[in-house]
Amino acid sequence: MSEGNLRERLDAQRRAFDAGPPDYSRRMEALAGLGDALRAREAELVQALHDDFGGRSPDETRMLELFPLLDQIGHARRHLRGWMRRRRVRGTWYLWPSRAFYQYQPLGVVGVIGAWNYQLLLTLGPLVDALTAGNHAMVKPSERAPRTAGVIASLLADVFPLDYVTCVTGGVEVARSFSALPFDHLIFTGSADVGRDVMRAAAANLTPVTLELGGKSPAILHESYPLELAVRRIMTGKLYNAGQTCVAPDYVLVPAGREAAFEAEARRVVKALYPRLAADPDYTHIVDARHDERLEALVADAEAAGARVVKLATADPGSGRVFPPTLVFGPTGGMRVMREEIFGPVLPVVACANVEAAIDFVSARPRPLALYYFDEDRRRVDHVLARTLSGGVTVGDCVFHLAQHRLPFGGVGASGMGQYRGFDGFVTFSKKRGVMVQRRIALTAFFRPPYTGRTRRILRWLMRFAAR
């Protein structure tokens, strides 16, 4: 699709929005229509994702994408009326007898650029928030999962008129043109390198941007936490979607001397989760040959630099991009596995003397999208929370803070900016508009020229109380 055609679609959406933004009833109808379409085309969506990956667990697609998406829609529908309600605030005393309130109003047309690893959730999830806030939207799914992108385009075309929601498919050039459109807000999920390009393109239009970028999310184990439980939850979170998850644990910090126990337990957990690996329908394949080769290069680089590489299972070389769960012991800062987001089933294991050393290790690196801490002592948990900064945290588990509708989801620093999901998504795609209503007779009559001695005396009197 050409840049001119994209602009025509945007202009049509803006005209439709200006003719009358979606009210409560239309928003509820839009959300219900999207939910019904997802249910009706469940099998088609599951198959498309399976085909795009060359093997993707249907149960994981339902559990990690379709169910959370449908639940997000239900949460929004249950709470929308309350979110839209005008909220009164106490007026500033020297502006008496004015009254003040704020209300959330839609921005206009929102652009959504999705990500291939969770093509449904990370494309349609932001769309749900944009529609909930009363916007029109243009959606660009990732070209790396083209079959699913095609189904999404067809689904949205069946549910919405083009001047309300439209889906744009195509390759990198289309994505570049899309990000350069003068949206009222743009949300992008993907790599930091592409995120920089998106932000540069949006800056030309002063388009506000939400970036969800990922990064190297650590898991920290305290020595008192049951190792068996911690390893089971870490490996489960790591191996969802074969590690191709933005909030997957990217490396684990274990108490020094527990490395062998961690390895033994990880091997047992992998055997229990995926007993046949390559032939196991629950184990997702790597999305394409380029990404598979990249993972091989990461592991080879670490091994060449002196790390001990442990494959926790075996995969037939002809099994079709099935990458075995792999631990990397003794990683150093110069290795690629410790410099790049892994985005696959490879887990570096770093030994630390204590939790303080683990905190220092994490804090010396770019801010991660997620942090996982395994401990049951509330004081130590609070200490870790105070000493670290990340987009989100799960204590005692991995990944699942993402599913909390009443918590915001978003990165910080190198892992992104802005947030969405639930009420926070509603706020992100809205303008919180402040309104003051003044009466005929008001104290503001003193705040206009000509400024007399009486005005100055009143101002001095006011200033005496201003900082108290």
Residue 318's pLDDT is what? Answer: 62
pLDDT level of residue 196 (50, 70, 90 thresholds): very high
Average pLDDT over residues 180-205: 96
pLDDT level of residue 13 (50, 70, 90 thresholds): very high
Residue 137's pLDDT is what? Answer: 98
Average pLDDT over residues 298-321: 89
> Per-residue pLDDT for 179 more than 90?
yes
Summarize pLDDT for 76-108 with one digit per residue, the tens. Answer: 999 999 999 999 999 988 888 999 999 999 999
The more confidently predicted of residues 359 and 278 is 359
Residue 418's pLDDT is what? Answer: 96
Residue 278's pLDDT is what? Answer: 74
Residue 210's pLDDT is what? Answer: 97
Residue 306's pLDDT is what? Answer: 96
CA atoms of 231 and 268, how far apart (whole Å): 10
Summarize pLDDT for 406-435 with one digit per residue, the tens. Answer: 999 999 999 999 999 999 999 999 999 999
pLDDT level of residue 258 (50, 70, 90 thresholds): very high
> Per-residue pLDDT for 58 more than 70?
yes
Residue 280's pLDDT is what? Answer: 87
Share of the chain above pLDDT 70, in %: 99
> Per-residue pLDDT for 466 more than 80?
no
Residue 410's pLDDT is what? Answer: 95
Q: Which pair of structure tokens corresponds to residue 353? A: 């003397």
Of 94-108, 115-129, 318-332, minimum mean pLDDT range: 318-332
pLDDT level of residue 20 (50, 70, 90 thresholds): very high
> Per-residue pLDDT for 468 more than 90?
no
> Per-residue pLDDT for 356 more than 80?
yes
Residue 465's pLDDT is what? Answer: 77
Annotated active-site positions, please? Answer: 212, 246
- In CATH terms, the superfamily for domain 218-411 is Aldehyde Dehydrogenase; Chain A, domain 2 (3.40.309.10)
Assign a CATH topology to domain 3-213.
Aldehyde Dehydrogenase; Chain A, domain 1 (3.40.605)
Residues of the chain with CATH 3.40.309.10: 218-411
The more confidently predicted of residues 455 and 41 is 41
Residue 1's pLDDT is what? Answer: 65
Q: Do residues 102 and 432 lie in contact, with contact meaning Cβ atoms separated by under 8 Å?
A: yes
> Per-residue pLDDT for 301 more than 90?
yes
Residue 317's pLDDT is what? Answer: 62
Of 216-230, 235-249, 436-450, minimum mean pLDDT range: 436-450
Residue 443's pLDDT is what? Answer: 80
> Per-residue pLDDT for 31 more than 70?
yes
Residues of the chain with CATH 3.40.605.10: 3-213
